Each structure stands twice: as structure tokens, then as C-alpha cells.
Amino acid sequence: MVKIDSKTRFIGLLGYPLGHSFSPIMQNAAFKSKNINIVYIALEVKPQDLETVVKAIPKMNFAGFNVTIPYKIEIMKYLDETDDLAKFIGAVNTVAIKDGKMKGYNTDGIGFLRSLEEHLNIKPDGKNIFILGSGGASRAISMTLAMNRARKIYICNRTFEKAEALVADINKRCGQISQVVPMNNERMAEAISEADILINTTSVGTHPDVDDIPIDKDLLHSNLAVCDVVYNPRKTKLLLVAEKLGCKIMSGLGMLIFQGAEAFEIWTGVEAPANTMFEAAEAFYNHSV
Ligand code: ATR
């Protein structure tokens, strides 16, 4: 951690309950490596105290904060300004404080995109993308992909109406840059056969149900890049099966690190030391996840 003195500023992580989080470990490693006098601290805030805490934060020496479950939507009503992408997504995970004003951003989708570029050398432009799930993670990723000129985005959900609602929202907010199609399990084979990238945003495959897989494995093909937002385990059953088929694969850990790297850059204006953040997260991971 940096040496704390009278000039030290803070970044908080607001959520409830917080449990184990990678963010304090990786952000403090990043501030130290760049010699920036900021300390990142976890702030577990009960729902009835959220308003009081959020209104007090800009009155103290905070440079900003991250927001996690369950406050990513509720926080928006307390902010002075919200970045366009966060408005489209309808959720904020990062807040920067400047001259006492709070501005909200959403770095989850950008984190996914940076991980895709850094780890798999893939850009979304012109790609056909098949997304499983239509919850919060799917929303951040699909909106960001649509804003970054993906060709076609299929959104497949167990509850079809939720896929339809997300598709309608993307079309309304992102000006139909990409063709976005809702999908149910019956029609997925053809869509996956023409997809370049498949992304699991459901919780299927996470601990303790590590043998679960969110789709029929016979639908996978070796031209697919297969990505999972699940990072526990590091390689889900979906990724293990895809890897065996010769697919490029990407774990959810990359998205987690790069959403943090993006937030670091918003707070400091300094390029994030992504490798340092990865090493810190991996060390934490090996000990506690
Ligand atoms: P997050 O914020 O992590 O995206 P969420 O908003 O609760 O979490 O969304 C979870 C997504 O995973 C939803 O699309 C959910 O499908 P439903 O809308 O039908 O509930 C999907 N999901 C969760 N468990 C699932 C399962 N066992 N099989 C298929 N889909 C599942």
C-alpha cells in the first residue's frame, strides 16, 4: 500500500454485502506501482444508510468510488452527471469526484472488450456474437458491443421475454448500429453456427456447480472464440470443452481486471498497470477463491 499521509485520498467500494472482493487488492497494487497517493478501501453500506454515505463522500478526501451489488442502479439518482454509455446500460459501477461533483461511468462492458482485445486479439467490429443470458452482465456487454459496431448480436435467454426486452432497449438506445436478435433455446443451433464469438453471462458453471454447462456442447465449433464472465472456477466446464475443440477461450477474470483498469484510468488519468493488477488478483485468487 502507499505511505499514508495528510495528502492521501481515498477510493471506496460501495456494496452490501461485500464478501471477498478483488478490487482492494488489485487497485492498491496499481496505486503503489504508479506511486499515486490514493488508498482503496471497502465500504460495506447497509441499504438504509446508502443516501447518507453517498452524500458525505464528496465532502471528504475521496477521488471516487466503485459501486457493486446491489447499488449499481440506485446510485444513479445521487450523481451530478452520468456518462452516455452508463446511461445506455442503465447502471453505474464507477464514480469519479471532481470539484465536489460526482460523475458516473460503467466500465464493465469496456472491461470485457479490453480483455477480448488484449487476450484474444479480437475486436468486435463486423463480428457475429452469441450471448447467453440477459441480466446485468449481459446488458453491459451487449450495449458496449453494439456501441462498438458488432455486426450481429444474438441474445439468448431461458426467459425469452427478458431477451426481447433487452433487445428492444439496445435498439432504442444504440441507434440500431448492430443487428440485435432475441433468441430462445429452440433456434440457437443456426445462430451459433454463424457466430464468431460466444459469451456466457449466466451464472451456470460457477462454484459449487462446476460441472454445469450453459449450452449443448455439440453446438460449439472450432471457429468460435468462447468467453465466460464466470471467474470462479478460472476455467469453467464451458471453457474446458471449448478449449478441447480448439476454440480460443477467455475467462471472466480478464473482464474483472480490465473493468478495474478502466476505472483506475478514469480516477487518475494515468495508464493502468494491467500486468501488476493481474499479478495481484492472481495471487489473491490462488489463496482465497
Ligand atoms: P448478472 O447481474 O450477473 O448478469 P442477473 O441479472 O441475475 O445476474 O442475470 C442472470 C442471468 O443468467 C439471467 O439471464 C438468467 O436467466 P433468467 O432471466 O431466465 O432468470 C440467467 N440464468 C441464471 N441461472 C440460469 C440457469 N440455471 N440456466 C439458464 N440461465 C440462467
In the block, cell 433487452 appears at 166
Q: Which of 72, 103, 237, 248 is catalytic?
A: 72
Q: What is the pLDDT of residues 61-104, one digit of tens each?
A: 999 999 999 999 999 999 999 999 999 999 999 999 999 999 99
pTM of the full predicted structure?
0.94
How far is ligand 1, taken at its centre, from the CA of residue 184, in Å? 14
pLDDT score of 194:
95
Print burial letters for 263-282: b (CB count within 10 Å at least 16), e (below 16).
Answer: bbebbbeeebbbebbbebbe
CA dist 183 → 97, 187, 192, 202 (Å): 40, 7, 11, 15
Residue 19: what pLDDT?
83
Closest among 265, 277, 279 to 110, alpha carbons compared: 265
Output the CA 160–ligand 1 centroid distance in Å.
12
134 ligand 1 Cβ < 6 A: yes
Domains of the chain: 9-106+254-288 (3.40.50.10860), 109-251 (3.40.50.720)
Verify whether ligand 1 is closer than 6 Å to residue 133 (CB atom). yes
Q: How far apart are CA 271 and CA 215, in angstroms?
A: 38
- Give 232 Cα–ligand 1 centroid separation in angstroms: 16
pLDDT at 289: 58
Tell me if residue 72 is catalytic: yes
Residues of the chain with pLDDT under 50: none
**The predicted structure's pLDDT at residue 288:** 66
Which residue from 144, 166, 203, 210 has its CB within 8 A of the most atoms of ligand 1, so it is best to mutate? 203
Cα distances (angstroms) measured from residue 77 to each of 55, 73, 90: 11, 8, 11
Instruction: Give residue 186's pLDDT.
Output: 81
Look at residue 285 in the predicted model and tell me its pLDDT.
Answer: 76
User: In this structure, are strands 94-98 and 101-105 parallel, antiparallel, or unpaired?
Assistant: antiparallel
Scan for cell 475467462, then name that residue: 251
